[in-house]
Amino acid sequence: MTEEFHRIRRLPPYVFAEVNKAKAQARARGEDIIDLGMGNPDTPTPPHIVQKLVETVSDPRAHRYSVSRGIPGLRRALAGYYERRFNVKLDPETEVIATLGSKEGLANLASAITSPGDTILVPNPSYPIHQFGFIIAGASVRSIPATPDDEMLEALDRAVRHSVPKPTALIVNFPSNPTAYLADLDFYRKLVAFARKHEIWILSDLAYAEIYFGDNVPPSILEVPGAKDIAVEFTSLSKTYSMAGWRMGFAAGNPKLIAALTRIKSYLDYGAFTPIQVAAVAALSGPQDCVAEIRDIYRKRRDVLIQGLQAAGWDVPSPEGSMFAWAPIPGRFRELGSVGFSKLLLKEAGVAVAPGLGFGEHGEGFVRIGLVENTQRLRQACRSIRHFMTEHGGIAPTTQQAAPLPDSQPAHS
């Protein structure tokens, strides 16, 4: 009884724990920490959504169990969003399911479709649930490059030819967390053709669909003809409507995958609290001015952060989407590694960031910086970082691109 449980043994130590512990200790000492480490939206949920929640929660009939796949009106609202935004028609009965955030949906679908020993293809670096949802389910994970280009497609081809057993599923996430890469529709066309040819499921995480800053508007993989034959896509209200704590997300696409997720969820939960689902309908079907306003807030924060870091001597690429900057560790600090550098930045500058190692071993050499504070606080963070750089004798040239990602090494197996 002293041995670790089997599934827990497959999970590595929590990389963010050291930084989180140091952050808590600093705050306990009364230090002012600017926390840019977690992707936790700080803007309030739009008033009309909150009003609908308050209105519905006062009705005792809404206090009973809901249904795990979501109330019909919510599934219709999500289908309406896809038709307006992507010109994709969905059947609310067979091609849509509500989830308790996209993270829960991804993890439960992994459990539903995975057999022990299956090989799953996951970008590295990537949001942790993308690989650990499948690792918990008993699969082996094979890393592929995280960039939406020919390098990823070539790695997928090698993986199919050399993996035993043949891969059964592929995860993609654009705009991506943590790297902020965007994919275009032409890339999705190639990806869908490849997956259909080799009979590989695609799980697309589109949580940042509405957080983009230029003319490159993120598409849905479901826009590609035939995509619903092999793909399911996860979306979330967390960032689009600043509803992170409400835990409302969706899966849409292939009916077989939706049915599998529906069945496993029916054993595990009764769905989100009905007033939250009703408020989610108000979000998807109501005024959409708030979406553009939230996007503009993140764009202004991005500009302040990137300009401030560049003035401090830290050359960080400007993200085209998501709510993060993927920052190469400044040259003279690279030997510390992402965890060591994050701890030093916290200690000496009072700024918390997320170490890249937490997103996969190929995230080493980077830190993720969240656009989760107002512009005043971001300017304060940049001033502190500039002082930190000066104290350490300036800054050596940075390397903005990670080393090539070998596709032969699994993240965990």
Q: Are residues 311 and 179 in the same domain?
A: no
Tokens of 38: 């977690």
pLDDT tens digits, one per residue of 158-217: 999 998 889 999 999 999 999 999 999 999 999 999 999 999 999 999 999 999 999 999
- Say if 125 falls within a structural domain: yes
Our measurement of the distance from residue 357's CA atom to the centroid of its chain's CA atoms, rounded to an integer in Å, reads 15
* pLDDT score for 16: 84
Q: Are residues 136 and 267 in the same domain?
A: yes
Tokens of 78: 């999500």
**Is residue 80 pLDDT above 60, yes or no?**
yes
- Say if 21 falls within a structural domain: yes
Q: Are residues 126 and 245 in the same domain?
A: yes
- Say if 405 falls within a structural domain: no
- Say if 291 falls within a structural domain: yes
The three-class DSSP label of residue 232 is strand
Return the axis-axis angle of helices 101-113 and 255-268, rounded to nearest 10°.
Answer: 100
Taking phi over 0 as left and psi of -120 to 50 as alpha, with beta for the rest, 101 belongs to left
- Say if 402 falls within a structural domain: no
Predicted confidence band at 336 (pLDDT cuts at 50, 70, 90)?
Answer: very high
Is the separation of the CB atoms in 190 and 223 below 8 Å?
no
Closest CA to 91 of 75, 102, 103: 75
* Mean pLDDT for the chain overall: 92
Q: Could you tell me the residue range of the domain that residue 123 belongs to?
A: 45-285
Q: Are residues 264 and 314 in the same domain?
A: no
Q: Which runs of E-coded beta strand occur in 115-248?
A: 119-123, 140-144, 169-173, 201-205, 231-236
pLDDT tens digits, one per residue of 292-310: 999 999 999 999 999 999 9
Is the separation of the CB atoms in 276 and 351 below 8 Å?
no
Give the residue, 198 or 2, on which the prediction is more confident: 198
Q: Are residues 268 and 371 in the same domain?
A: no
Neighbours of 245 (CB within 10 A): 11
* pLDDT score for 395: 53
Q: Are residues 230 and 376 in the same domain?
A: no
Is the separation of the CB atoms in 208 and 298 below 8 Å?
no
* Helix, strand, coil content of the chain in percent (nearest 5): 45, 15, 40
Give the residue, 333 or 394, on which the prediction is more confident: 333
Q: Are residues 331 and 279 in the same domain?
A: no
* pLDDT score for 396: 45
Structural domain total, the chain: 2
The enclosing domain of 139 has a CATH number of: 3.40.640.10
**Is residue 394 pLDDT above 80, yes or no?**
no
Percent of the residues in the chain that have a pLDDT greater than 70, as a whole number: 95
Q: Are residues 296 and 261 in the same domain?
A: no
Q: Are residues 70 and 185 in the same domain?
A: yes
**Which of these three, 268, 285, 302, is where a domain ends?**
285
**Which of these three, 251, 270, 285, is where a domain ends?**
285
Please provide the size of the chain in residues.
Answer: 413
The three-class DSSP label of residue 293 is helix
- Say if 404 falls within a structural domain: no
Q: Nearest-5° angle of CA 246, CA 251, CA 255? A: 150
Helix (H) or strand (E) holding 304: helix 289-311
The DSSP letter of residue 377 is H
Q: Which runs of E-coded beta strand occur in 74-118?
A: 96-99
The three-class DSSP label of residue 412 is strand
Closest CA to 180 of 319, 352, 328, 34: 319
Overall average pLDDT of the 20-44 stretch: 92
Q: What is the rounded CA–CA span in Å between residue 151 and residue 265?
A: 36
* pLDDT score for 320: 96
Q: Are residues 375 and 228 in the same domain?
A: no
> Per-residue DSSP letters for 11-73?
SPP-TTHHHHHHHHHHHHTT---EE-SS----SPPPHHHHHHHHHHHTSGGGGS---TT--HH
- Say if 396 falls within a structural domain: no
- Say if 82 falls within a structural domain: yes
Q: Are residues 120 and 264 in the same domain?
A: yes
The enclosing domain of 344 has a CATH number of: 3.90.1150.10
Q: What is the pTM of this model?
A: 0.91
Sheet with 119-123: strands ordered across = 96-99, 249-253, 231-236, 201-205, 169-173, 119-123, 140-144
**Which of these three, 248, 268, 285, is where a domain ends?**
285
* pLDDT score for 412: 35
Give the side-chain half-sphere CA count within 13 A for 189: 4
Is the separation of the CB atoms in 301 and 371 below 8 Å?
yes
Q: Are residues 49 and 96 in the same domain?
A: yes
Overall average pLDDT of the 335-349 stretch: 95
Predicted confidence band at 2 (pLDDT cuts at 50, 70, 90)?
Answer: low
Scan for tokens 């041995």, then name that residue. 3
